[in-house]
Structure 1
Amino acid sequence: MIKVRPATPDDAPELVRLRNLMLEAMPAMAAAAGPGPWQATAERLLRERLAVPAEQLTMPVFVVDAPDRPGRLAACAVGTLEHRLPGPGNPDGLFGSVFNICTDPDQRRRGYARACTEALLDWFDGRRVGRIDLHASSGGEALYRSLGFGEHSIALSRQRSY
């Protein structure tokens, strides 16, 4: 049985390490991955967001510890919770995003990413989150579809580098 747990502030460095591995594996992001000021900012943000009381949590993170390496994470799933104005299709106005699912390369094919993602989706379901979005890599698409994700049109997106 895979033991999934909520991340703690002490997991922040490992979560940043896994995030970098994920970025390195994405063709569009690989050149920008690696050491940089983003890592210190990400670690600080994770420590802050994971230190809040459970009822105030807006960045849920679930992890699996590496079974053979104390202090290392095998996998993670990170999301955010946003409260928007309600509408007919989402009367509570709760929206989720899943944006950082990664398994350490030497820990893959053991169900860790699925277990972390299922825990994250259960967390969202427990809060009646009406819609959950993610951008899937080609390697993860089959997993996400098996968990109920499908096509959804997002008309426009704006991105700037600062």
Structure 2
Amino acid sequence: MIRPAVPADAPVIAVHRSPDEVDAPERPVYAAWVADALERGLYVGFLAVSDGGEVVAGAGLTLLEWGPSRGDPQPWRARVVNVWTQPDWRRQGLARELVICCLQAAQERGVTRISLGTSEMGRALYEGLGFRASGTEMALVLK
């Protein structure tokens, strides 16, 4: 069963963000942000739940007030984040269903541009949903 995420799910979503990494100490900060963003409507999440009630997969959508741009008067952009499935639940279409829920949520909000980061393992999933690589972005980390 797929259900919308609620603020109480924020700790689980924080684990999905970094399930195997050593930055577990940062999870409470991210969980607090997710809970607040869910309440304010700036994060929309979906969770796949087993018959026993265990969250086995999830995906989220961060909504960003980007401002209108040339050729697109819609000020909102979205980014698909925190797509994760427990290893023993993979290859069953859960991630695809969850991302589709995110895309529908974006469309319901009038969002026309959606981005995401991917691994090689996830690339085929996203390409199958219409995402294309965009090599125009750059980043800088200010210290």
The TM-score, its normalising length taken from structure 1, stands at: 0.80
- 1:14, distance to aligned residue in structure 2 (A): 1.6
Q: Number of aligned pairs?
A: 143
Q: In the alignment, which residue of structure 2 is the partner of 1:34? A: 22
1:20–1:155 CA distance, 2 compared to 1 (3 A): closer
Matched AA of 1:36? A
Query: Are 2:55 and 1:67 aligned?
Result: no
* Misfit runs of 4+, over 6 Å: none
Q: How many angstroms apart in 2 are the aligned matches of 1:154 and 1:67?
A: 43
- 1:35, distance to aligned residue in structure 2 (A): 5.2
Compare 33-42 and 98-107 and name the one that shifted more: 33-42
Q: Give 3-state SS (helix, strand or coil) of 2:114's partner.
A: strand
Contact 1:93 1:130 in 2 (8 A): no
Contact 2:18 2:24 in 1 (8 A): no
Q: How many angstroms apart in 2 are the aligned matches of 1:5 and 1:154?
A: 35
Mapping for residues 4-153 of structure 1, pairs under 5 Å: 4-21=2-19, 24=20, 33-34=21-22, 36-52=24-40, 57-68=41-52, 70=53, 72-153=54-135
Structural RMSD (CA)? 1.7
Runs of 5+ consecutive residues of structure 2 not aligned to the other structure: none
Q: How many angstroms apart in 2 are the aligned matches of 1:64 and 1:108?
A: 12
* Alignment deviations for residues 89-135 of structure 1 (CA, whole Å, 9 cap, x no partner): 22112211112100011211111111110000000111221211111
% identical aligned pairs: 29
The TM-score, its normalising length taken from structure 2, stands at: 0.89
Runs of 5+ consecutive residues of structure 1 not aligned to the other structure: 25-32
